[in-house]
Structure 1
Amino acid sequence: MSNVSQHLISGALSGFASTVILQPFDLLKTRIQQPDYLSKHGHNPLSPQSTLIFRTARNIVQSNGIPGLWRGTTASLLRNVPGVALYFTGLNQFRTFLATSPYFAPLRAPSSSYSTSTLPKLTAQGNLLAGALTRTTVGLVLNPFSVVKARYESSYYSYGSLSEAFFGLIRSGPSEIFRGAVASSLRDAPYAGIFVVFYEHIKATLSSAVSSAPESAVVSLPFLHSTSVNSVAAASAGALATLATQPFDVMKTKMQVRSEMHYHGLWSTIRTVWQHRGVAGFFDGATLRMSRKIFSSAIGWAVYEAVLMTMHSSRRTD
């Protein structure tokens, strides 16, 4: 199996696992971000976000049962499985290319003989550039799927089927197909860049700590140690990157699910949110997105790297 195929399969499995498990987080985040101001839907805008999350979840369960929390899962899978697969594959290819440059290659190889990864090693600048450009490119290509995903999760649209949603979007023209693309890029570029930098740094630090542990503990369960290191590193990096980019996620959701003219441009959307909600409005759904990103990063990167290491081990033994 080729190197590209390995990364595509690993990324697809990663995207599938994290999407199915964590879809309720995405659904609730979209529902909380969609209104102009929360009091319009019977909620006090000054209520703790945990109270609002509980009320939103309770209303969904009362109306559609527990399965209602997984509304939009199919649309999410259509966006996230190819999206994660393409992102991981493109990221690896770009990092491999940058590793050939003296400017982006690390000055020295990691001193530890214990490794939790088969991915290329780069400087912080290289990881920042690779993460930002790859994530932005994949996001632009798959933006139509992101729009359908957001609208499926929203309570403002009642699609009978996915085909109805896609054909309706296509008939609306390019302006609808790429709704929220700028906000998505402004969110995705710094998120991915920050994430990859912190992920690799935290992973290297944890790997060094593991390698200094008693040798018997590392050798006895190397797969478990690798998965634990990668999960903790990804969860930590996901939390930091999410907090830094939350306002742009709010802008993206507003632009993709609202039809009013004041949501048809990035600056008019920012102005509208500011007028209705102030600073707090730019962090609507932050708790859910933070939770979702922590878990999805931990699951996604652990699955991705574990599948890659398994494939590499199998290839060496053949």
Structure 2
Amino acid sequence: MHDDSSENTLVAGQPQSHTDHAIAGAVSGFVTRFTCQPLDVIKIRFQLQVEPIAHHHVSKYQSIPQAFALIVKEEGISALWKGHVPAQLLSVVYGMGKFSSYNALSKLANEYTFHDRWQHMMHFVAGAGAGVFATILSFPFDTVRTRLVAQSSNHRVYQGILHCGMEILRTETLRTFFRGLSPTLLQIAPHSGLQFACYAFFVDVYRQYTNNSETTFGGSMLAGSAAGLVAKTVIYPLDLSRKRLQIQGFEHGRKGFGKFFRCNGLIDCLVVSAKTEGLRGLFKGLWASQLKAAATTALHFTAYEQALILLKSLR
């Protein structure tokens, strides 16, 4: 993200087409998902566990290292990439929609005189709009991915993506694919906006500190990590609620994972979580999520920027 008033793209001097931004976004989503999928599996397992995440407790998962080791022991190392195919579809569609729509919204904002005065705010607004569009577009893949990750390998209900989708349509309704969409949109608008705005801010800080007009690969990674950490921490309770809403009606697939969490809507989910698990329960799995957010946001922006540079060089 740069201060180039003529072309508000993520890479300085890259006035590229919407197709380039869509392709770069898809590449970014693919690379990021493949690298960070194990952390996502751990995060989801933590979020869906009602019991405390603590040592010396009857809880199934007690810490990040213990959860990794237990999953590998009980389900094999491939379980760390459980639900990877729908997750990849989710990431590719989401990345494509997010970065292409951000580019389009940024170009629109450039046409107004207030853009230069409210530059970081425009990054936030464009990022929020891009996140909402990409989320609606990719949400069914997220629901399928969550169901596949949530089920026990010893009590499998779904055999794959297509089977999961067909079973949801057969036994539930089409609306099930979008269950949890409301809290997700409430979450994703500020989350995506904060990601873009914080990334732009930290890139500016990096340039001032290094006295360099360009952002290096390392600079992109550092700015992305910091942006991901800040954004994820702010919206985390909504992320937890989304995952818990997505498994409602899926109790039969959660055998062996402890007590099943039941709720009716976003507010009820937040209230029940806080009432039964304390306020700390709203941030259950935060460490794993922060680790994942720092890694994924850094990879997302860096891979996107590098893909744009590569696409330009090929022309």
Question: Is 2:90–2:142's contact at 8 Å kept on the other side of the alignment?
Answer: yes
| Structure with more of its chain in helix, by fraction | 1
Match of 1:282, SS state, is helix
TM-score (norm 2): 0.83
- Structure 1 unmatched runs, 5+: 108-121, 213-217
Quote how far apart the aligned CAs of 1:263 are. 2.2
Q: Matched residues in 2 for 1:136 and 1:154: separation?
A: 25
- Structure 1 match to 2:29: 15
Deviations 1:276-308 (A, max 9, x none): 101011001111111111111111111101121
- Structure 2 match to 1:163: 162
Q: Is it true that 1:188 corresponds to 2:188 in the alignment?
A: yes
Match of 1:263, SS state, is coil
Match of 2:162, SS state, is helix
Q: Matched residues in 1 for 2:45 and 2:88: separation?
A: 19
Q: Is it true that 1:234 corresponds to 2:224 in the alignment?
A: yes
Q: Matched residues in 2 for 1:14 and 1:188: separation?
A: 18
- Structure 2 unmatched runs, 5+: 1-14, 252-260
Q: Is it true that 1:100 corresponds to 2:111 in the alignment?
A: yes
Q: Matched residues in 2 for 1:289 and 1:199: separation?
A: 18
Q: Is it true that 1:134 corresponds to 2:130 in the alignment?
A: yes
Alignment of 1:1-318 (within 5 A): 3-38=17-52, 43=57, 51-103=62-114, 105-107=115-117, 123-155=119-151, 158-171=157-170, 172-211=172-211, 226-259=216-249, 262-315=262-315
TM-score (norm 1): 0.83
Letter in 1 for 2:280: A
Q: Matched residues in 2 for 1:304 and 1:75: separation?
A: 21
Letter in 2 for 1:149: R
Question: Is 1:43–1:52's contact at 8 Å kept on the other side of the alignment?
Answer: no
Quote how far apart the aligned CAs of 1:238 are. 0.6
Q: Matched residues in 1 for 2:311 and 2:136: separation?
A: 30
Quote how far apart the aligned CAs of 1:2 are. 6.7
Deviations 1:52-81 (A, max 9, x none): 223322221112222221111111101111
Question: Is 2:232–2:290's contact at 8 Å kept on the other side of the alignment?
Answer: yes
Letter in 1 for 2:116: P
Quote how far apart the aligned CAs of 1:38 are. 3.7
State the identity %: 22
- Structure 2 match to 1:110: none
Question: Is 1:12–1:85's contact at 8 Å kept on the other side of the alignment?
Answer: yes
Match of 2:63, SS state, is helix
Is the alpha carbon distance of 1:199 and 1:2 closer, same or farther for their aligned partners in structure 2, counting shifts above 3 Å?
A: closer
Question: Is 2:93–2:134's contact at 8 Å kept on the other side of the alignment?
Answer: no
Q: RMSD over aligned Cα, in angstroms?
A: 2.4
> What is the number of residues matched between the two proteins?
285
Question: Is 2:93–2:137's contact at 8 Å kept on the other side of the alignment?
Answer: no
Q: Matched residues in 1 for 2:246 and 2:269: separation?
A: 11
